[in-house]
Amino acid sequence: MRAMEPSSTDLIAQALTRAIVDHRLQPGAKLAEQKLADHFGVSRTLVRQALFQLAQGRLITLEPARGAFVAAPSADETRQVFAVRRMLETEMTRAFMRAATPAHIQSLREHVAREQAAVANQDVTGRMELLGDFHVHMAELLDNQVLAQVLRDLMARCALAVLMYQSTSAADHSAHEHAELVECFARGNVAQAVKLMQEHLDHVEAGLNLDRPAPTHDVESALQLV
């Protein structure tokens, strides 16, 4: 493989992300720095930077004295995260409806437009981030930083499961449901908004194929199609 430029940390991270998204890397697979450096034709320093970038997004875990591993959220953990999200976001929806201004609605409309663009452009990591940030943004518009941080943590815990197991069609459906929610907010129908939020979270969870057959542990073969 042609050696990459020193500025290619992001390209390494994107290649590994794609291998995870395409289910060619198994949760729990070890990501050996030297093997990755040899594959990409770069220094271990660049590989280490890319791995740290992915760890920040909770796609991998860095374990002292053991190295880097693809994160492995269990089906039970994912279900528990969605259960907590339902508890929090149902009440957040009610609070948002009480406080929403035209500026709040417009801000959410602009966010949904970015989501839809990411889905249309097949920007997998971008759509994942934007779809999760919709819910955090609602908390931020309420000026509740504690709630926003709690939701960020929950989103990070389910982000890998969504990234790995959500299809493009499911992501498109999520963006469409966000748009429906925003228009419901604009109409001021609290009961309908709460119902839509509950159904939306149900649909997102149901759209995750948590029983997908296990991909390979071998990093080199998983990256061959990158």
Are 16 and 102 found together in one domain? no
Are 161 and 199 found together in one domain? yes
Please check the confidence at residue 226 and state whether its pLDDT lies above 90. Answer: no
Domain that holds residue 138: 75-206
- Residue 69 has a pLDDT of 93
Q: How confident is the model at residue 214 (pLDDT cuts 50, 70, 90)?
A: very low
Question: pLDDT per residue over 91-149, tens digit each?
Answer: 999 999 999 999 999 999 999 999 999 988 888 767 878 888 999 999 999 999 999 98
CA neighbor of 132 nearest in space, from 72, 83, 187, 89: 89
What's the burial of 76, exposed, middle or buried (CB within 10 Å: 0-12/13-18/19+)? exposed
Are 114 and 57 found together in one domain? no
- Residue 4 has a pLDDT of 46
Q: Return d(Cα 29, Cα 208) in angstroms, integer.
A: 21
Please check the confidence at residue 45 and state whether its pLDDT lies above 90. Answer: yes
Question: pLDDT per residue over 25-36, tens digit each?
Answer: 877 889 999 999
What is this structure's pTM?
0.68
Are 202 and 117 found together in one domain? yes
Written as one string, the DSSP assignment of 97-155 is HHH--HHHHHHHHHHHHHHHHHHHTT-HHHHHHHHHHHHHHHHHHTT-HHHHHHHHHHH
Number of domains forming the structure of the chain: 2
CA separation, residue 45 to residues 4, 51, 52, 211 (Å): 13, 10, 11, 36
Are 160 and 65 found together in one domain? no
CB 67 within 8 A of CB 31: yes
Q: What value does the CA radius of gyration of the chain take, rounded to a whole number of Å?
A: 19
The residue out of 32, 52, 72 marking a domain boundary is 72
Tokens of 43: 């220094």
Domain of residue 174, CATH code: 1.20.120.530
- Residue 176 has a pLDDT of 93
Q: How confident is the model at residue 222 (pLDDT cuts 50, 70, 90)?
A: low
Q: Could you give the maximum distance between any two Cα atoms of the chain, in Å?
A: 58
55 CB neighbour count, 10 Å cutoff = 15
- Give me the mean pLDDT over the 166-184 stretch: 84
The verdict on residue 89 lying in a domain is yes
- Give me the mean pLDDT over the 165-189 stretch: 85
- Give me the mean pLDDT over the 199-218 stretch: 74
Task: Choose between 194 and 53: higher pLDDT.
Answer: 194
Q: How confident is the model at residue 6 (pLDDT cuts 50, 70, 90)?
A: very low
* Average pLDDT of the chain to the nearest whole number: 85
Q: How confident is the model at residue 164 (pLDDT cuts 50, 70, 90)?
A: low
The verdict on residue 219 lying in a domain is no
